[in-house]
Amino acid sequence: MRSSRGPGQRAGLSRDRVLDAATDLLAESGAVTMRAVAQRLGVAPNALYSHVADKTELVDGVLDRVLAQVDAPPLEPGGSPGDAMHRLMTSTHGVLIRHPQLVPAFLARQGARGANARHLGAVMLEHLAVAGITGDAAREALRVLIVYTIGFAAFDGAPDERPVPHSELRADFDRGLHWLITGIIESVR
């Protein structure tokens, strides 16, 4: 368990293993620090810098892994685009509140920019296009929906003296999301 490794001896790290450790650590303890990730991997803190530029890049990597859990069903021919958007954002909200420690990072990055985030954004834009909303209007609408979703997730993860129950916050989120999507779709009619 101690350091059975001298200088120069490989520990078998990789970028993937570092991200794995960080993701696990987040799920278990809720906090991610360079030193804790290193400890979990049994290496010196600075060993991580061979596989990750800095903490920001590490957090970005974890963010995109978490976003992979969002359920983004592809466009259905006969379905309602409003319903599809509602489902996608609700799934995103669910994933976020299961990882409250990452929500501030999502906010600071305006919603992440990894591959999974881009995919989710593209799916949303498809739904908006079906609803007749394209170009700048679509990007604005998407930004509003993302802000709302992440904002509510941030609210949920926050500790409070008299905390609002999760179920109630979920209902609030759903109601507001309905107002937003209705407003977005009706703005084009």
* CA atoms of 186 and 181, how far apart (whole Å): 8
Q: Are 96 and 50 in contact (CB under 8 A)?
A: no
CA distances, 72 to each of 16, 60, 85, 143 (Å): 24, 20, 9, 17
Among 2, 7, 31, 160, binds a second copy (CB under 8 A): 160
121 binds a second copy (CB under 8 A): no
Select from 44-52, 90-98, 116-124, 153-161 the region that touches DNA (CB under 7 A): 44-52
CA distances, 166 to each of 34, 90, 157 (Å): 31, 14, 9
Residue among 121, 171, 109 at smallest CA distance from 145: 121
159 binds DNA (CB under 7 A): no
109 binds a second copy (CB under 8 A): yes
Closer residue to a second copy in complex, CB, 118/178: 178
35 binds a second copy (CB under 8 A): no
* Residues contributing to the site for a second copy (CB under 8 A): 104, 107-110, 113, 140, 143-144, 147-148, 150-152, 154-155, 158-161, 164, 169, 171-172, 175-176, 178-180, 182-184, 187
